[in-house]
Chains A and B, each alone.
Chain A
Amino acid sequence: GAGVSQTPSNKVTEKGKYVELRCDPISGHTALYWYRQSLGQGPEFLIYFQGTGAADDSGLPNDRFFAVRPEGSVSTLKIQRTERGDSAVYLCASSARGGTGFLNTEAFFGQGTRLTVV
């Protein structure tokens, strides 16, 4: 696609429910990132995929959070037993590839999913 697409744009769920957030990266981008942005804060890293595998999941806050990218394209962030503290904007970004090089590692962001847990 032309840009990174995230669905839904907004999601309201009840405490304790399960939610899935979807990210469709730019076509051909092998690296994909999830960030969480709480109100009034900068985004915080959650997880990084290189292809189908999670190369770095050290930012996931606990085992209620899980993400997959089974075919190396679309990714889904899954949150179990949601808590009010999970309310935030979840941003997805993709880049042509990961690693340390410069020219192909610019990250392009989607517009995020605003999750509200009531």
Chain B
Amino acid sequence: AQTVTQSQPEMSVQEAETVTLSCTYDTSESDYYLFWYKQPPSRQMILVIRQEAYKQQNATENRFSVNFQKAAKSFSLKISDSQLGDAAMYFCAYRSRETSGSRLTFGEGTQLTVNP
């Protein structure tokens, strides 16, 4: 079974600064997807960025980028030019590409605070 670990329960950043959220995972599979989701107080999970394991190039979406280290099983999220609207709970998630069903396995989450 796969596991996802987020070792930072809380993080804070000053507005306009950069912050990095950590995620590690454990799997015996070689083909999978990794995701970062944002969950504001509205509870709706919003996809921030995704990475395919077979791609060496790190994914980027505007101010959001990842550092994917497959051998180390590490998948960190960098948020640049932080904005007040980035404040939320962030979840790292894993999905197998080798088995059907596509369930997501989530980490415990990191609560991000953005200070004005």
Q: Please tell me if the beta carbons of B101 and A42 are within 8 angstroms of each other in the complex.
A: no
Partner of A106, one of B4, B47, B99, B106: B47
B25 within 8 A of A: no
Interface residue count on the B side (C-beta < 8 Å): 27
**Known: A41-B108, A42-B91. Is A89-B43 also a contact (CB below 8 A)?**
yes
Most chain-A Cβ atoms within 10 A of its Cβ — which of B98, B102, B107?
Answer: B102
Q: Please tell me if the beta carbons of B52 and A102 are within 8 angstroms of each other in the complex.
A: yes
Give the dominant DSSP class at B's interface: loop
Of residues 29 through 64 on chain B, the ones whose CB sits less than 8 Å from some CB of chain A are: 33, 42-47, 50, 52
Q: Please tell me if the beta carbons of A43 and B100 are within 8 angstroms of each other in the complex.
A: no
A91 within 8 A of B: yes
* Known A91-B43, A106-B47; further 18 A-B contacts with Cβ < 8 A: A40-B108, A42-B107, A42-B109, A43-B104, A45-B105, A56-B101, A56-B103, A98-B100, A99-B100, A100-B98, A105-B102, A107-B47, A107-B104, A109-B46, A110-B44, A111-B44, A112-B43, A112-B44
Seen from chain B, the residues whose Cβ lies within 8 Å of a Cβ on chain A are 4, 33, 42-47, 50, 52, 91, 93, 95-109
